[in-house]
């Protein structure tokens, strides 16, 4: 048995201004995905997103405070103990905190399939290291992800970002080519991604 309070979990503030509290990583859970979220600088507590890529069914529980969920354009104000269930992965969802103490627990998975750790978990974990210029730590986390999910285009792309920021142009371009070959969407993302400012004029950069 292992116990922890939500406020004892790592607090990783993301670019969108919400704070990720990694529950699954904290306990080493392998059977299902679960994480907690609290508000950051923007007041957002759940990022705006849909789940088509992963096909996840999700359940959100408000642990404390009050939260305004927006699901498919409809707003729902929820308080402690209230639940939101989203079966349809195409529905766009997100939430902002109405109180400073707000906290939300998310549980999700793909119906009928064994749980797989999502690539974004490794990217989220690496994010504060990237912002602080700790590129070795970021590389370690993203490579850990690629060992678990070989060939993941999202992780290849994020690792390319790290190498570009670290001045490793050849490695960055090679990884970016691999990401684009695996998923053409990353070609478009790369055109405006400031992480690639140092290599965008290179003739090998994917146009």
Grade residue 16 by pLDDT with cuts at 50, 70 and 90: confident
DSSP alpha helices (H): ranges in the chain? Answer: 23-27, 119-131, 135-148, 153-165, 169-182, 185-192
Q: Is residue 36 part of a domain?
A: yes
What CATH number does the domain containing 84 carry?
A: 2.60.120.10
57, 79, 109: which is the final residue of a domain?
Answer: 109
Q: Is residue 114 part of a domain?
A: no
Provide the whole-model pTM: 0.89
Do 105 and 124 fall into the same domain? Answer: no
pLDDT (0 to 100) of residue 15: 87
What CATH number does the domain containing 152 carry?
A: 1.25.40.10
What are the two backbone dihedrals, phi and then psi, of residue 13, each rounded to the nearest 5 degrees?
A: -80, 130
Do 104 and 123 fall into the same domain? Answer: no
Q: Within a 10 A sphere around the Cβ of 115, how many other Cβ atoms? A: 16
- Which pLDDT tens digit goes with each residue over 118-134? 999 999 999 999 999 99
- Which pLDDT tens digit goes with each residue over 166-176? 999 999 999 99
Number of domains observed in the structure of the chain: 2
64, 90, 109: which is the final residue of a domain?
Answer: 109
- Decide if pLDDT at 27 tops 90: yes
What DSSP string runs through 80-96? TT-EEEE--TTS-EEEE
109, 127, 154: which is the final residue of a domain?
Answer: 109
Do 25 and 51 fall into the same domain? Answer: yes
Mean pLDDT across 34-45: 97
- Decide if pLDDT at 58 tops 90: yes
Counting every residue, how long is the chain?
207
Q: Burial level of 117, CB count in 10 A (0-12/13-18/19+)?
A: middle
> Which residue in 164, 159, 171, 162 sits closest to 199, CA to CA?
164
Q: Which domain holds residue 10?
A: 6-109
What span, in angstroms and rounded, lies between the C-alpha atoms of 177 and 93? Answer: 32
Mean pLDDT across 16-42: 96
Q: Is residue 203 part of a domain?
A: no
CB 34 within 8 A of CB 22: no
- Decide if pLDDT at 56 tops 90: yes
β-strand pairing of 83-86 with 33-39: unpaired
CB 47 within 8 A of CB 94: yes
């Amino acid at each position: 048995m292992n116990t922890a309070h939500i406020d004892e979990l790592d607090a990783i503030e993301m670019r969108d201004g919400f704070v990720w509290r990694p529950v699954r990583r904290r306990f080493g859970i392998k059977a299902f995905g679960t994480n907690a979220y609290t508000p950051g600088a923007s007041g957002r507590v759940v990022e705006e997103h849909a789940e088509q890529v992963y096909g996840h069914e999700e359940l959100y529980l408000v642990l404390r405070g009050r939260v305004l969920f927006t699901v498919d354009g409809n707003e729902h104000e929820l308080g402690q103990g209230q639940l939101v269930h989203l079966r349809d992965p195409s529905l766009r969802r997100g939430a902002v905190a109405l109180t400073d103490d707000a906290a939300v627990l998310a549980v999700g998975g793909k119906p009928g399939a064994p749980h797989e750790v999502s690539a974004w978990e490794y990217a989220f974990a690496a994010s504060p290291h990237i912002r602080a210029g700790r590129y070795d730590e970021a590389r370690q986390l993203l490579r850990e992800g690629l060992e678990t999910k070989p060939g993941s285009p999202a992780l290849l792309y994020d690792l390319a970002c790290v190498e570009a920021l670290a001045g490793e142009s050849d490695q960055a371009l090679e990884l970016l080519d691999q990401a684009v070959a695996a998923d053409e969407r990353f070609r478009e993302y790369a055109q405006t991604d400031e992480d690639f400012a140092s290599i965008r004029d290179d003739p090998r950069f994917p146009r």
